[in-house]
Every structure is written in C-alpha cells, then in structure tokens.
C-alpha cells in the first residue's frame, strides 16, 4: 500500500486548477484513486459535475487518456474500449498493459446507468467502475437520486408542511453489484485514505470487473461549510451511516469499526439538508433514521460473519 509520501510524489493524473466547487469531495477521491495507478490509465466519465467542471474547452484537468460519454453509459463506453484493447493485444498491434477506469456520479450509477453497469459486470470486462456518491443529481439542480438518504431536503423532495424530505431509504448498490459475483467491490471514504487507496490498488489488480463506491460530499447540495468536507466523511463513517467494507470473491469484510460509534445526529446536524428533522414535529424521524442505521450495521455484520 502506498504511503502518504509516495502518494504525494506520484504523478498527478488529475491536475490542480480544475473548476470543481470548493470543498467538493469528487476531486479528492479521484486524486486518491489515481495516485495508486501503476500503469497507463484510460478514464471514461459520465456527464455530471466531475466531467463538466474538468473539461471546459479548451482546458482539461486530465493527464491521462479521457473519454466523455453520456450520462447513462460510462460503463458501456469503457466496456468497448477494454474489448478493443484486448482484440488489438491478441493481434499483436498493442504492447504493454493498461488500466481502465469508468467514472460516474450516483445519478449516473445508481439510477440511469445501472443497466450499463450491470452489463459490464456480467460480461466480465477488466474495468474498475468508480462511483463518486454525493447523494443527488447535483449538477442539474440537486434533485433526489436513489442514493439520496431518507429525510434529505432536495429540489424534488422539498421539506415543508407536506413533506419531511425524501421518503425512501437509500438503494444498497454495493449489494446489487456483489450479486454479479465479480472479483472485487468496496465502499470507501476520503477521510480514511489508507483504506481507500488500498481498496483502489486491489480494484486495479482484480483481474476482472471491480467496483468502488466512494463518498463525495457536495457543499451546495448538503449545505455545509466547504472546510468541513473531510470531517463530514469521517462522521459518516464513525456513525456507521457509511460503513467501510469490501467484498472479495464473494467474501464480505468490514474494513473499519468505529471504536466508539457516534450518534447519527452528529452527521445530520452538520448539514443544512437535514435541518428540518430537528424541528419538534419531525424529531420522531431522527429515531427512525438511527434505528435504520443500526439495523443496517447489524445486517452487514451478519452478512460478513463478523458479529459485534
């Protein structure tokens, strides 16, 4: 596993000077993942915050081969690239090894890109898929996605007299991905960079389809001070809202256990999108959300065979 010194000295395939919002989590996770790539990388990126703000013509923040594709087909695009690479290798027209990284936000992964992702995984392409999960369609106006937490205030699930935010729980995408029986799938957070980069190294070396679901806070959508990005991701982990785990050849493992599990309210109260939950008429929802996180953690322990 790369040390912090080695990561800092590694060539930066994701350049500074991009136009992502201050405090955005997406460029942080991209730099962490790309810092451990030991071979030339081809990146496909779905339309979204990351693509829009890093490829403003005539500039680019990518110091590697980069393909912009539609919102829903990052996985399909990279499937074709990887298949063409294998064909050219067999014909002796290409030498050397390459890595293939498909990227999408939660809207382009959990929702409209799920079919494309499932096909890539089922066919067995040697591609790493990275989802930067900011919990909504942030680029188009902060609309809810199936990754949006229950109770969150978004432009399509507004909190008010008729609603207390999104009514449905988040989709368990990692379980859906794992059901494809791929070599490697993991969930990570930029607050725990050693854990995240170790998982990125494993994904690149998996020898088949691999999946990384990485928490990437959005200051505009989550409504928090831009300096608090890493602290928020740490709270997500320490409250068990965002468990750190990996599934390697079907075997599930929790890679980090909080020494002292924090209450979910520590994570929620730091974000403006949940402020309505602390009103008297909505406080019963806080208990429900805490129970939901506790139940999910117990279920995860059971799935991984690691009782608390």
Is pLDDT at 75 greater than 90 in this prediction?
A: yes
Tens of pLDDT, residue by residue over 280-289, are: 999 999 999 9
Tens of pLDDT, residue by residue over 121-130, are: 999 999 999 9
245-248 and 184-188 strand pairing = antiparallel
Q: Are 204 and 130 in contact (CB under 8 A)?
A: no
Is pLDDT at 9 greater than 80 in this prediction?
A: no
> What pLDDT score was predicted for residue 17?
85
Mean pLDDT (whole number) for 271-284:
96
> What pLDDT score was predicted for residue 1?
63
> What pLDDT score was predicted for residue 306?
77
Domain annotation for the chain: domains and CATH numbers = 4-304 (3.40.50.970)
Tens of pLDDT, residue by residue over 131-183, are: 999 999 999 999 999 999 999 999 999 999 999 999 999 999 999 999 999 99
> What pLDDT score was predicted for residue 7?
74
Q: Any idea what the Cα angle at residue 106 is, between residues 240 and 265, rounded to 5°?
A: 30
Q: Are 214 and 131 in contact (CB under 8 A)?
A: yes
Q: Are 285 and 261 in contact (CB under 8 A)?
A: no
Residue 308: pLDDT band with limits 50, 70, 90: low
Q: What 8-state DSSP symbol labels residue 139?
A: T
Torsion angle, alpha carbons of 239, 241, 242, 246, to 10: 90
Report H helices in the chain.
Answer: 4-9, 26-34, 49-54, 74-90, 114-123, 173-178, 193-204, 229-238, 264-268, 283-304
In order of 21, 130, 198, 269, the CA distances from 26 in angstroms are 10, 11, 18, 22
Tens of pLDDT, residue by residue over 39-58, are: 999 999 999 999 999 999 99
Tens of pLDDT, residue by residue over 23-33, are: 999 999 999 99
Mean pLDDT of the chain: 95
> What pLDDT score was predicted for residue 4?
74
Is pLDDT at 11 greater than 90 in this prediction?
A: no
């Amino acid at each position: 596993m790369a040390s912090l010194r080695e990561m800092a000295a590694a060539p930066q395939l994701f350049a500074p000077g991009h136009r992502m919002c201050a405090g955005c989590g997406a460029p942080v996770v991209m730099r962490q993942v790309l810092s451990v790539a030991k071979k030339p990388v081809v990146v496909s990126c779905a339309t979204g915050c990351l693509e829009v703000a890093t490829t403003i013509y005539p500039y680019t923040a990518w110091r590697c081969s980069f393909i912009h594709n539609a919102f829903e087909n990052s996985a399909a695009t990279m499937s074709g690239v990887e298949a063409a690479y294998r064909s050219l290798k067999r014909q002796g027209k290409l030498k050397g090894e390459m890595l293939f990284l498909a990227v999408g936000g939660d809207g382009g992964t959990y929702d409209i890109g799920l079919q494309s992702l499932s096909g890539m995984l089922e066919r067995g392409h040697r591609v790493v898929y990275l989802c930067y999960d900011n919990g909504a369609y942030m680029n188009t106006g902060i609309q809810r996605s199936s990754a949006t937490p229950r109770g969150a205030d978004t432009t399509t699930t507004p909190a008010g007299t008729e609603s207390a935010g999104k009514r449905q729980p988040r989709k368990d995408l990692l379980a859906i991905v794992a059901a494809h029986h791929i070599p490697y799938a993991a969930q990570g957070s930029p607050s725990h960079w050693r854990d995240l980069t170790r998982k990125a190294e494993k994904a690149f070396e998996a020898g088949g389809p691999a999946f990384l679901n990485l928490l990437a806070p959005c200051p505009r959508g989550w409504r928090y001070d831009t300096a608090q990005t890493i602290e928020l991701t740490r709270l997500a982990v320490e409250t068990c809202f965002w468990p750190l785990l990996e599934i390697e050849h079907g075997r599930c493992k929790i890679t980090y256990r909080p020494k002292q599990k924090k209450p979910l309210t520590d994570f929620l109260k730091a974000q403006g999108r949940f402020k309505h939950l602390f009103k008297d008429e909505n406080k019963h929802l806080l208990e429900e959300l805490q129970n939901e996180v506790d139940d999910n953690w117990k279920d995860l322990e059971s799935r991984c065979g690691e009782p608390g």
